[in-house]
Amino acid sequence: MSSRFFKIFIPVRFLLPAILMALGLSGGSAVLRAAEEIDILFVGDSITDRWDNGKEDREVWNRYFGEYRVLNIGVGGHSTAQCLRQIDCPAARNVSPRLIVLMIGTNDVGYLAMTPETAIEGNRKILAKLRDRWPNAVILHHAVFPSDPKDPTPQSARRQRILKVNEALPAMADGRHIIFLDFHDLFLDSDGLMHRETHPDLVHPNAQGYEIWGRALAPVVKKHLAEQ
């Protein structure tokens, strides 16, 4: 689990104004205006949070999203209820994202052993809050990825709960402001098995797993940013 509260990646052109403001040599208004609009806000749990942590994972991140202004507020261990509160974190207060990437619910039906209905309702509340907070942003709402640290087979109780959550999520999309993306099966073989080559603990992707996600997500990101 990540211990960091949030992460933000700012293009080099924003660093000098930020340093000047910190030294008291700038009023800071230019920095605020420059930082208001970002390209992508990532929201989620440790699967999102870990993407930029390790060297190899970060290489994948940079390859697919390094050209964009990105804020990642994913936090390891978060449930949908905690994610709902995380939207109000200090890092996100003064940003205006063009796209929001959301995947949440693994921990609800995982180590917290909550019902699929809890994760479903949590996703619904998060989407409502994101739409209210950033009505002009397009939300790329993900199906929950497969995970079970004890059982890689499709028969696992945890994975069955995830499937129940995912069955309900498409109905929350409107095709315009909320786009549903189902990459769940990309992490499975033809027999529905997860593999440690991409998910060493059968929960979190490694660089190979993030490569699969990045390769699938990047064209969608590019398309929707170009349409705005």
**What does the pLDDT look like over 8-57, one tens digit per residue?**
544 433 343 343 334 333 333 333 344 479 999 999 999 999 998 777 88
Share of the chain above pLDDT 70, in %: 85
**pLDDT tens digits, residue range 213-224?**
999 999 999 999
For the chain, the domains span: 7-227
Distance, in Å, from the CA atom of 218 to the CA atom of 195, rounded to the nearest integer, reads 23
Residue 109, pLDDT score? 98
Q: What is the per-residue pLDDT for 52? A: 82
Instruction: State the Cα–Cα distance between residues 73 and 5, nearest whole angstrom.
Output: 7
Q: Encoding tokens for residue 95?
A: 């940003």
pLDDT, tens only, 112-153: 999 999 999 999 999 999 999 999 999 999 999 999 999 999
**Contact yes or no for 50/204 (Cβ under 8 A):** yes
pLDDT of res. 4: 42
Comparing CA positions, the residue from 192, 184, 101, 104 lying closest to residue 139 is 101
**Which residues are bridge partners to 180 per DSSP?**
141
Measured at the CA of 156, the angle between CA 153 and CA 157, to 5 degrees, comes to 165
In sequence order, the β-bridge partners of residue 96 are 37
Give the pLDDT band (50/70/90) at residue 228: confident
**Separation between Cα atoms, residue 16 and residue 155, nearest integer Å:** 53
Domain 7-227: CATH superfamily, name plus number: SGNH hydrolase (3.40.50.1110)
pLDDT at 7: 53
